[in-house]
Chain A
Amino acid sequence: MSVKRKISSHPYIPNSVPEVKAQMLQEIGIKSAEDIFGIIPDHLRFKGELNLPEAIVSEYELTKHVEELLAKNKNCKEYLNFLGGGCWQHYVPAVCKTIMERDEFLSAYVGEAFADHGKWQAQFEYASCIAELVDMDMVNTPTYDWAMACATTVRMASRITGRNQALVATSISPERLACIKNYAFSIVPDIVQVKCDPHTGLMDLEDLKAKISSKTACVYFENPNFFGVIESQAKEISRIAHENGALVSVGVDPISLGILAPPSHYGADIVCGDVQPLGIHMYAGGGLGGFIATPDEPKFVAEYPSLLFGITPTIEPGEYGFGEVLFERTSYASRDKAKDFLGTMAQLHGIVAGVYLSLMGPQGMREIGETIMYKATYASRRLGKIKGVKILFSAPHFKEFVVNFDGTGKTVKEINKALLQHKIHGGKDLSVDFPQFGQSALYCVTEIHSKKDLDYLADCLEKIVS
């Protein structure tokens, strides 16, 4: 793989130059690093050499090696992509990339708000932009992803209400459901799913009414839901929850919020979602970051596990400074007595989402929402006209929709294999997670798809199923 060679020092390890190393050992007063490691009992020492590949010390050779590996992937520039479901292909503006690439942000960590002032301000501005989008006053520094964000809201709701059951819509992402079940388990062991109306794709309100009780800490649903369906009964769901003393947590795709009402307007107490659509590439699922927003009331604020960056004056008149709000809540301050835990999460992605929202502004967010709505609606109509293919769920959808292939006699797996021959990544196969919907797939259409792309998809599908 690599060209074997002797080098006088490794480019990443400057003190590996033998003369420097020797001088340092002499100044310490030891002969070798073994004089430091010698304290490790012999039976705990690793003997021999690690069985790792030989070093590729040449940057060019490393690049070739990684390029060869990545060439085995069929990326979404080469292939048309219709996969979404929590990681979406959107256009990433150049300025977002430039800022994400800055070494200052990229390689900073937990520096204080003096020498890392810019990082704190960028993070505060990110939270401020999300706050406008969801129309709520308190926003966290991002957690790992939407799944951990919604699971966190369930724990927050449990602590606020003192209850230990959560009602969760069936129409949420199965991966997010799996995270909720594991993450919330210790205080919310009882996760009950509320049915989805098989015709409209909306929540079955009768089922909600039957299941909600004085044990319910919160009702969690997504809007648009995992199937792309716009939950138009949101206000009614909130009313039912509140009547029973439960909180309402809503997961939302932030790129929809230029045209769809923010959940706070239909009764949500807590809002969460993912920042990935806001100027961050998919990175094979690596581009995620979860936001949480609530009213700016102590009963909510006290239950966040996240760092909360607050604006505060400095000793220099007129200067903005920043600091941690209610730091004692966090596990950095209070360890096992804290509200859950925190750590290295997804702050860089938060900063980039702030850049994106500042570039887009209110007009851009409205326009992109409309564009996505137009294109997804066009695609679903086009596909719905193919013989044997039908669009499940009658309610309006945003960005994603469920295509059923039962009438074609073919499985989604077969269809997707055939689509690959046409250089298309077909929609996510739902037949395992949602067998009740037969051979169905979740298709995602965003602003990056042209009419030509959508027509090509429809033409290919037509050929495959006929």
Chain B
Amino acid sequence: MHFPILSYIVFLPLAGGILILLTPKKNIGLIKATATAVTGLGLMLSILLLLKFNCANPSMQFEEISGWIPSINVSYHMGIDGLSVGLIFLTTLLSFVACIGSYGIETRQKEYFFLYLLLSTGMLGTFCALDLVLFYVLWEIVLVPMYFLIGIWGGARKEYAAIKFFIYTLAGSVFMLLGILALYFTSTPHTFNMLELGKTAGALTLGLQILIFIAFYLGFAVKVPVFPFHTWLPDAHVEAPTPISVLLAGVLLKMGGYGFFRISFSLLKDAAHYFALPFAILGVINIVYGALVAMAQTDFKKMVAYSSVSHMGFVMLGLASMTATGFNGALLEMFNHGMITGGMFFLVGVLYDRAHTRDLDKFGGLGVKMPVYAGMLTVFALASLGLPGLSGFISEFMSLMGTYPVFKLITIISIFGLIVTAGYFLYMLQRILLGPLNARWADILDINKRELFTLVPLMIIIILVGVYPLSALKYQLAAVTALIQKVGGLSF
């Protein structure tokens, strides 16, 4: 295929961003239109990608390769397989709906949309890059726009949250850089090509693999985030403006999980086996601890933020299982969590825009005043707590099912986390929607059409995947099977 579709998907937002830089600051309509057009076009391209994607083929597709810095063996190498295609669709979809969700931004729109599109390029590029240096560059590009997006348009403690996010993630990723360099110099022949490394890096000694694994782990674990590196997340998610919270939860966390799949487990299989038990333990800590802390929150947004910590635990757990079912569950959980929690953050934003508070105890009885909102909130909350028939259930069930034969006790403890999750989501619904109406909100307005437009696509996908999981699973089955064979896991 000659049309470099991946490059278009990745760099279209950047091109749009540069166009926006050239647009006069006053012409806000044009700026918004450009951003929407560019992200919409990206979404269409990624749908085209899904249609053209050969689900039965476990290897790389749509590969593009050309020289970049030949003197140090760095190439511009992109390609996708079943591990990344779903995440690219997720990213383009969330970029598009969050762009529409960004119409409410009222200050410094030109800078906002430029940074927003730069962020999109970084996120999409991370999922496409097959050269470690390219991967690192695109991974780091995400940091800078995110710093500004939180720091300029965020809430009360935005400056603290922004620099904390920046320093935490940078600290993690510089160790990843050392890991990349170590992989390069220990491989023969020296290469940054992930596919080549996939063939040779598995032969490294266990000690070396463990060291490199830890270096990468620090980079990815901060992004996921894995306990105890999660403390940036509640600050960043709570302070960020709504569309950015959506992308933080929906996409940025997935970059860490994707890194585990694409690099840690694909390249360093002996170390992956070695660290399976610690991964499972960290996973269960994330699930239970995240759920318990979420239970204790009175801030709606903070509750959703901690629910992310809890849900990402299922990704860790599924990875630790080293089974095909567990891997499939973990990968699907990333996709589903992006849709569900992305939607949850939109819903938090809808309420906050009207009430200017997120204190759960200040609401009550809104179900009567905002029936449509109540319906949407219920669907997303139920999906998040894992109600069968909605997508969250499928992936969490698969994670647990894959893990049970390997780590029985840990799986049982994780199920306790599910109960807590059900508890805090239902408690949240009760506090916001049920009970007597708080008189303060007597004339609150229901969700408007634009907000509904951002949520409906996500809801359709959540229900579709929940009722017919193969619609999403078919893209990843072949790649996961191949990965399991490569790392030597159980193919059940």
Real binding pair: no
